[in-house]
Copies of this chain bind each other. A is one copy, B any other.
């Protein structure tokens, strides 16, 4: 029993496929769009297609780009001696938003997952090795996620990067800044104890 006219049903169904959007939110959004000015709807529809039509991957680091190279690779002020390797563009963005990193990136677009048939050739690893041969890289920071597939990927990368004359580092693990020790999980707590540093 669907009380909506077909165009509204269709929009609710499409919006309901977005992450975190249930049927209730999708309905609310659909009614908002229904009552919004035509110009907004056109801009929204154009923006949806825009990320399909106008987004490509940076030829160098595989970050999202709207030209051959991404904004970071195009920026002459970035430190080209540093490459931070991340799994996905959203990880890159999280690091960029901190404002605390001025080097370049390399986006793998995934992680190793042998059970899912995702081997090294599904990631942009060869391209990273090629960059080490042609760019003045001094340090590679491996910033894959601190979960099982991310750690597997990091260990594999470490092995592949070893023959190159670069420093290989990874993100520090420990208790979150501003966190409460009471609520830190025990594996993190053990890591923070093991890697404790002097005052």
Binding site for B on A (CB under 8 A): 1, 3-8, 10-11, 13-15, 17-21, 25, 27-34, 38, 40-55, 64-66, 70-71, 89-90, 92-93, 96-97, 99
**Given A3-B97, A50-B10: A34 and B18 within 8 A (CB)?**
no
CB distance from A33 to the nearest CB of B (A): 6
Minimal Cβ-Cβ distance residue in B for A36: B17
**Given A5-B66, A7-B66, A45-B45: A33 and B14 within 8 A (CB)?**
no
**Given A31-B90, A32-B19: A51 and B8 within 8 A (CB)?**
yes
Interface pair B65/A52, CB less than 8 Å apart:
no
Interface pair B42/A49, CB less than 8 Å apart:
yes
When distances are taken between beta carbons in the complex, the residues of chain B under 8 Å from A3 are 71, 92-93, 96-97
CB distance from A22 to the nearest CB of B (A): 11
When distances are taken between beta carbons in the complex, the residues of chain B under 8 Å from A43 are 10, 14
**Contact of A47 (CB < 8 Å), options: B7, B31, B49, B89:** B7
**Given A5-B70, A64-B4: A11 and B50 within 8 A (CB)?**
yes
When distances are taken between beta carbons in the complex, the residues of chain B under 8 Å from A42 are 49
When distances are taken between beta carbons in the complex, the residues of chain B under 8 Å from A71 are 3, 5
CA distance A42 to B51 in the complex (A): 11
CA distance A34 to B70 in the complex (A): 16
When distances are taken between beta carbons in the complex, the residues of chain B under 8 Å from A99 are 1
